[in-house]
Structure formats: structure tokens, C-alpha cells
Chains A and B, each alone.
Chain A
């Protein structure tokens, strides 16, 4: 059986992140030009609601800024931004232009990371107070810290703050922290290779400055009037000729184009027009339940298989389940009114919605003698959990009185199935989709694109054996414009990306034979071999111990890999190594945080550990960050000092009226270096694939599992 399925991939990382407003769960985020809560070019003590994710683009004479911001916890806001200084290439020398990186021009491309913490919540008497560091890990180009307070008076929101670093350029007094220690009077301006905490510069310097802002809301017009006084005099940009002068006062107007999407036009520094666009989404939104695919007025009716009719209720139920995206693999009817079924969720982003669909069909077809249903679900075709549901009474009043009785446990295997869904092996699935690959943050070319057709194939040979493959066919690409080489002191395990992009624009992305199975009830494994990813072929194995009812798991993986030829066909290069990690996984239950630690040997033969922290939601969203420290010294690692980045998983059904398990998962690295690198998409794959079927995720959505009287 070969099924042809089309899938839509997001056009680019940037587009999808900016397309937040298209999805469910829009949120309010009043961001400033830097992407954090604020007004025009100054910060305020306002932050969006917990779990709000926003994307901001601002365009000013000084710089174009692209920012991704996340409200990590109710009191913590974090933002990553990429800045193109002097984007209009203004030259300080009359009659010249800033082309080809002219040394007399400001051509800085800067990555920075800002954090804001709420110290005090607003009350009738007291203002909201926040403290922030604008350039926590960067090069110091935006270096500045601030303490800011906000108070709301009707539609008027007033903000006043003091600042260090750039915020002290218009000094009002000496740094009060020098009363604690004279060390606060000296600000360290050496930032090395960037990427490190510049502790010796935070809140330091001889003076402080004062800034403030006003936001007046006119709700009936969905408009805010803005004014800001900035104590940053843009001395650096004036010295480099980007700005001739910098008035401290800026004014503007902000319009909420549609919920979650805001457009700002402003007159800044008394001499330049600035624009800003932002979009925000609540990543923790409750995903709306959608009708089952294939059943509905707007869809073709699911085929009625007349031949199966005489076989009774299970074939009917299994047929309807399959047509709506849930495979009922086996059924076991117990004499005591317990119905056990093994199912596979093929379509629903939330496992609870697949369970609900089965329960809806149980109500429609199963005999009333069945009072309890046990559903054993899977991930990667391996049983991962069992949900036991006491069938709701058909007596409406009684059902409303009694809460649904649901228990979630480790998977229970069906020992004597009375009905089996038979499959012909091998069977497979082919999917064809559009993709646009991006190459980001190169100072010479901050964004390059490669639209392509991606053809993915998966074959199930039965018995846990399978084949996973993907071919990328380039339609056109801009990667020939990349000129920078990796220039690494380590084995170039990743920094030869340029050659892979230029010489292997079309090629095999993956072609791996694998076998997955269970050693016992809680121990899962996979062994695999072939072309594992864009740059490496090899063989490997992964073992994971996890229980659906426990918040932690432990895994081990080992891989012997060899670097591929740049043309991304079957050829191999000389570099080979063995990597392996011991991994600990913990779903903390604290603000939806997952904590993962991988410790072991990496591709450049360096040894160390990776810490991943992600907020993960039952609706399919996850947002997180990771950092890897190995025995490679920072100066050997190069720019950025150590490997780090952001992790996103965006469920595609948020953007569609149909159910879909599809998701866009990406890692956003500010710098592509060789230290602390793993094989993409294989290390920790078992845990990642099974995460949505874990007990806490199912518990969070247990109310969705049971048919109600709505």
C-alpha cells in the first residue's frame, strides 16, 4: 500500500514565527523597538501574559531589529534579537556610500539577548517595577541595564526608569551603586568573543541616566498614542555617522491591526521616521477541538464499506475511526464488560482528541454491556500508555453529576485480541511538500533562501523494521552568495555547511533503515543505520527507559558516524568518530518546564554536556533554549564561546481548520560552530517522539477525552 499525501511546510522560520497572529490563541504584547515590553525605543515595566510569544520587526535609521520574545514565566521576559546597524548604509563621508563593508561605516550585525524581571506587581498605591539587562550575552553594542516603574491612570500608562550603560549617556547623577562598592563605578567594555555573561559590566559605570514614556490608549480606535524620553544619546551611532543628532524625545502612534498584530509609526530622535510591526501568540492557549477529518458537511463523505456491514459493530467502528484519523489495531472484549483496544493516533495533534474520537465511536457502536474502555496508544508504533475510561452514563443528569472517571497508566498489552486490523507488509507512505530553507545571521548575508521540493518516504516492513527517507530537490537557491568559511580550530564537523549548501543543493537528506521495539514494558530501543542526516552517515542505537506515570526518564545513545561528501549523495569523507550520550529527562510540572541533560561525547570528539529547558504544552507548542559546554576552551570554540540556541515546535493545526499531527520543529542557532554538536534529529529521538503521550500531557487534557452532552 502506498499512500500519497501532500503536506504544507512553513515557508521560512521567520515567516512562521511572524505568522503568530494567524493561529489560535492570539495575545496582547505591547513591545518596543527591541521586542520587549516598552514604548518606542525605551523599555517599560509592562510585560505580556505568561507564555506569550511575540515577534517584532523594527526599522529605524539607527538599525533594523528582528526580535523573538517569550514570557518565560509570569515574572520573566526573555528576548533574542538580531540587529543590522545602519541598514540604510548611510556613510559619514559626504559623497560616499557604505558599500562593501567600508571601514569608515557602521556595518555591525549584532545578536543580543535581553532579560526583564518583574520585581513588584502594580497595586492601587504602588507601581509595577521591573529590572532588565538589554545585552546579557552579546557584544555590548546595545549594552545597558535599567530599573523601570509603571503606573496606570485610566487610559494613561506612565513609565519612569533609570539606566546604566547606554542608558546613562544623558547622565543625571553618579551611579548610586558606587555607595555599595567602588567597583560599580568602572564598566568593563571588553566583551571578548561574545556569548559570555559580561558580569563586570552589568549595572556599572560612573553615572546613571533617567528615561520615561507615556502610552495613552484610545480603545474604540484600537490606537495608542506614544511618547518616550530616552537617556541613550546614541553616541556610538552619532560617532559613526549614522545619526547626525539625537533628540531625546520621540513620539508615535500604535495601531492594533487585528488581535495580536500591532503596527507602530513614530518620529524618533527628532529626525527620522521609524516603523515597527509585531505579532503575538499565547503558546499555552487551549486548542479548539476540531471535527474529525472526513466527517462533515464540507468534506466528501467517508466511504461506507458495504462489505463490512455484516460483520457487526467493530468493523464499522474501526472503519469510521480510520477514516477520521485513528487506527484501531486490535480489540479484546472481556466478559466483565471491559473493552480493550490498541489504537494509533495518526491525525490529532492532541492525544486526548484521538481518544475522544474513539470514545465517540464507542458510544455510537459498542454494546451497552461495555462499561469500561481501555485504550492503549503508541508513538513510533510502540505502546506508550493506557487510558482507562469508565463509559459515561447515557442518563444526562447522572453524567453531569459524576465527573469522568479516567485513569492513565503504563501500556497494557492485549494478550488475546479477538479482532485484529490486518496490514499488508511492506506498506508505506510518500509525502511531497514545499520547503524554504533559510541561512541566517551571516554578517554578509543575514538571510538567504532555498525553496525546494521535499519528498519523504517511510516504509513499514513489519516486525518493527522500517525505512525512513527524504530527498530534497532544490528549485533555486541564494547559497552561492555565502563567502565566509567556518575558520574553525576544531575538526570542521559543522562549519563546512557552506560547501554542503553550495555543492549539495539537491540530494539525499536521509535514508536510514531502522528497527524499533520494546525490551520490556518500560524499556524502548531503536537501532538504525544509513544516511542519518545532511552531513553524516552511520549506525547507532538508542535505549530509553520511561514510564507514562513517572515524570522522569533515562536514555542512552551511541552512534558511529562518518562525514558525508558535500554533494549529499552516497560518498563519504575521511572524518569519522563515535559519539554517545547518557540523557536524563524530567517533566518538572513547574510552569510546563521540561529539563533535559545530555552528557557525553560530541562530533568534534569533545566531551561535555548539554542542558535543554523547554516549556511544552498539550496543544503541541514548545519553546525552549539549550546550551552545551564541552572541554573545548572558549577561544578555541570561536565566536559565541559555546554552542547555544533556541528550540521551537509549532503545531501546524493551529493554522488550519483540519486536524493534523504536523509540526514545524527547528533549532535557531545564532552561530554555527563545531563544538558541542550532535547528530540532528536522532539524539534523544525516542523521548521527543513519545513526549505527547506522557502521563502529564494526558492528565492536562483529560477533560477532552470523554464525550459530553454538548
Chain B
């Protein structure tokens, strides 16, 4: 009895090992065969993006496109809007980030600049260079621009980078939400 228990425990552990190692391609394929996602969920996955900042990562879905502006949201009410160059609004991001908005305005010299508004923080401003194209290969190209401003009396720089794939579809969007702030990255999850 004791030996049986000992042996069974060992064998069970090993089976658990083999069974739980479901990261192999074969088992992943089996898992997909038995995926019980609804057809709506499956359709939604085609529009899934990951949105990451500061080590945290969220899943967003591209819900609407109006001209160059894309509206993303997820099932717990987080909303992100991208105007084709930068993030112009972020709402309900988990934690204390608060409501965020950004836009364009003319400064006293008549030059276009961006403004950045975040709940309880002073409005920040920056001027961005025109977008400059870059190309690494036929399926890796895009544009980037540099924005300079002054935050808390300190001169800071940030960049906006957009990368396209071989079908000229956006693969990744990288932008600081205000000059000197951390980078937010939106990355398309499906090819």
C-alpha cells in the first residue's frame, strides 16, 4: 500500500509535469481545437492590440476608425484614442493615471504646438518636428518625429514612432504621452 502510494505519487507528479507543460506547439494546437470562445470573441481577436506602459500591459481592441483617428477600448472600460500621430485621449487606465487628453494649438508666434492635459497635473506643451520617414526593409518601415518641450522647468525630448508592415498596415505605435514621460506602446497582436 505504502509503496503503491509512493509510486502513484511519483507517477502522478510526472503526468502532471507532462500534462501541464502545455506550452509546446502540439499542445497549444490541441488547446486551440478545444477553444470555446464565442464567434463574437473570435472576431474581436482580429482587432486585438497590446498597450503597454511601465511594465504593465493591457489588451485593447480597435473599435472604430474615423479618418486617421482610431478608437481603442477594452472590456473594463479603458479607452485610448490615437489621431494618426499621437495619443489624444486615455481614459480609465487602471491605477492613478487619471483622464488624459492632448491636442494642437498655435503659440504666440503662430507656430503649431501640442498641449497635454492630465488630471491634477499642470498642462504641458511641446513642439514636434515634421514626421520623417524611415525604412529598414520592405516590411519594416514607418515615420518618426521628435517633440521638445519644457516640463517642470526641465528641457525634455520625446519621440513618436510608427511602424508599418509589408501591407502598409500599422504594426506598432510608440509615443510618449507628454514630453519627458514614459513611452506608451500599442502593438498589433494579430498579423
Residues of chain A touching chain B, judged by Cβ–Cβ distance below 8 Å, are 12, 14-15, 18-22, 57, 59, 64, 66, 84, 87, 257-259, 261, 263, 277, 279, 289, 291-292, 294-298, 300-302, 304-305, 308-313, 315-317, 319-320, 323-324, 356-357, 360-361, 363-365, 367-369, 394-396, 445-449, 707, 709
Identify the closest chain A residue to B51 (Cβ): A297
Q: Report chain B residues within 8 Å CB of A258.
A: 17-18, 21, 24
Identify the closest chain A residue to B13 (Cβ): A18
Contact A447:B54 (CB < 8 A) given known A261-B18, A308-B96: no
Q: Is the CB of B54 within 8 A of A15?
A: no
Q: Report chain A residues within 8 Å CB of B151.
A: 367-368
Residues of chain B touching chain A, judged by Cβ–Cβ distance below 8 Å, are 2-3, 5-7, 9-11, 13-14, 16-18, 20-21, 24, 50, 53-60, 74, 76-78, 92, 94-98, 119-121, 151-154, 156-159, 176, 179-183
Majority-rule SS of B interface residues: mixed
Q: Is the CB of A707 within 8 A of B54?
A: yes
Q: Is the CB of A309 within 8 A of B119?
A: yes
Contact A369:B95 (CB < 8 A) given known A64-B3, A296-B58, A363-B181: no
Identify the closest chain A residue to B6 (Cβ): A447
Q: Is the CB of A317 within 8 A of B96?
A: yes
Q: Nearest-CB distance from B82 to chain A (Å)?
A: 18
Q: Which of A19, A323, A368 has the most CB of B within 10 A?
A: A368
Docked complex Cα distance between A367 and B151 (Å): 8
Docked complex Cα distance between A312 and B21 (Å): 46
Identify the closest chain A residue to B184 (Cβ): A364
Point out the residue from B20, B55, B60 that lies within 8 Å of A291, measured CB to CB.
B55
Q: Is the CB of A357 within 8 A of B55?
A: yes
Contact A709:B156 (CB < 8 A) given known A59-B7, A64-B7: no
Q: Nearest-CB distance from B89 to chain A (Å)?
A: 16
Identify the closest chain B residue to A315 (Cβ): B96
Q: Report chain A residues within 8 Å CB of B154.
A: 368-369
Q: Is the CB of B182 within 8 A of A21?
A: no
Q: Is the CB of A14 within 8 A of B13?
A: yes
Q: Is the CB of A257 within 8 A of B18?
A: yes
Q: Is the CB of B58 within 8 A of A304?
A: no
Q: Report chain B residues within 8 Å CB of A446.
A: 2-3, 6
Q: Report chain A residues within 8 Å CB of B94.
A: 294-295, 301-302, 304, 323
Point out the residue from A19, A310, A360 that lies within 8 Å of B55, measured CB to CB.
A360
Which 8 pairs of residues, A with B, have the shortest CB-CB distance?
Answer: A316-B96, A297-B59, A360-B54, A301-B94, A295-B56, A258-B21, A18-B13, A320-B95
Q: Report chain B residues within 8 Å CB of A356.
A: 55
Q: Report chain A residues within 8 Å CB of B24.
A: 258
Q: Nearest-CB distance from B158 to chain A (Å)?
A: 6
Docked complex Cα distance between A295 and B7 (Å): 42
Identify the closest chain B residue to A440 (Cβ): B6
Point out the residue from A15, A22, A84, A324 that lies within 8 Å of B21, measured CB to CB.
A22
Q: Is the CB of B120 within 8 A of A310?
A: yes
Docked complex Cα distance between A316 and B157 (Å): 24
Q: Is the CB of A445 within 8 A of B53?
A: no
Q: Report chain A residues within 8 Å CB of B60.
A: 297
Q: Nearest-CB distance from A244 to chain B (Å)?
A: 21
Identify the closest chain A residue to B124 (Cβ): A368
Contact A309:B96 (CB < 8 A) given known A15-B13, A258-B21, A279-B17: yes
Contact A18:B55 (CB < 8 A) given known A308-B96, A369-B153: no
Docked complex Cα distance between A301 and B95 (Å): 7
Point out the residue from B9, B56, B77, B98 that lies within 8 Å of A12, measured CB to CB.
B9
Point out the residue from B3, B57, B76, B98 that lies within 8 Å of A300, measured CB to CB.
B76
Contact A323:B57 (CB < 8 A) given known A360-B182, A446-B2: no
Docked complex Cα distance between A66 and B182 (Å): 52
Docked complex Cα distance between A368 and B151 (Å): 6
Q: Report chain A residues within 8 Å CB of B11.
A: 277
Point out the residue from B3, B76, B96, B157 that lies within 8 Å of A319, measured CB to CB.
B96
Q: Which of B10, B20, B119 has the most CB of A within 10 A?
A: B10
Q: Report chain A residues within 8 Å CB of B159.
A: 396
A-B contact pairs, 20 of them (CB 8 A): A15-B13, A19-B16, A258-B21, A261-B21, A297-B50, A297-B59, A302-B94, A310-B120, A315-B96, A316-B95, A316-B96, A320-B97, A364-B54, A364-B97, A368-B151, A368-B156, A368-B180, A394-B158, A707-B54, A709-B183
Q: Is the CB of B55 within 8 A of A304?
A: no
Q: Report chain B residues within 8 Å CB of A396.
A: 159
Q: Report chain B residues within 8 Å CB of A364.
A: 53-54, 97, 181-182
Q: A18-B13, A59-B7 are in contact. List 19 more A-B contacts (CB 8 A).
A: A18-B10, A19-B16, A22-B20, A57-B14, A261-B14, A261-B18, A261-B21, A277-B10, A279-B14, A295-B57, A296-B56, A296-B57, A297-B74, A300-B76, A309-B96, A313-B120, A320-B96, A323-B94, A394-B176
Q: Report chain A residues within 8 Å CB of B53.
A: 364
Q: Which of A279, A316, A360 has the most CB of B within 10 A?
A: A316
Contact A22:B17 (CB < 8 A) given known A291-B55, A301-B92, A320-B95: yes
Docked complex Cα distance between A295 and B74 (Å): 14
Q: Nearest-CB distance from A482 to chain B (Å)?
A: 12
Q: Nearest-CB distance from B16 to chain A (Å)?
A: 7
Identify the closest chain B residue to A318 (Cβ): B96
Q: Report chain B residues within 8 Å CB of A291.
A: 55-57
Contact A369:B176 (CB < 8 A) given known A14-B10, A21-B17, A291-B56: no
Q: Is the CB of A367 within 8 A of B152?
A: yes
Docked complex Cα distance between A686 and B181 (Å): 40
Q: Nearest-CB distance from A451 to chain B (Å)?
A: 12
Q: Nearest-CB distance from A105 to chain B (Å)?
A: 14
Q: Is the CB of B152 within 8 A of A369?
A: yes
Docked complex Cα distance between A316 and B119 (Å): 11
Q: Is the CB of A312 within 8 A of B13?
A: no
Docked complex Cα distance between A548 and B181 (Å): 33
Docked complex Cα distance between A360 and B158 (Å): 16
Q: Is the CB of B9 within 8 A of A277?
A: no
Contact A302:B95 (CB < 8 A) given known A18-B17, A279-B14, A356-B55: yes
Docked complex Cα distance between A394 and B156 (Å): 7
Q: Nearest-CB distance from B182 to chain A (Å)?
A: 4
Identify the closest chain A residue to B98 (Cβ): A309
Q: Which of A64, A261, A309, A396 has the most CB of B within 10 A?
A: A396
Q: Is the CB of B54 within 8 A of A363?
A: yes
Docked complex Cα distance between A34 and B162 (Å): 57
Q: Nearest-CB distance from A334 to chain B (Å)?
A: 15
Q: Is the CB of A707 within 8 A of B182?
A: yes
Q: Report chain B residues within 8 Å CB of A18.
A: 10, 13-14, 17
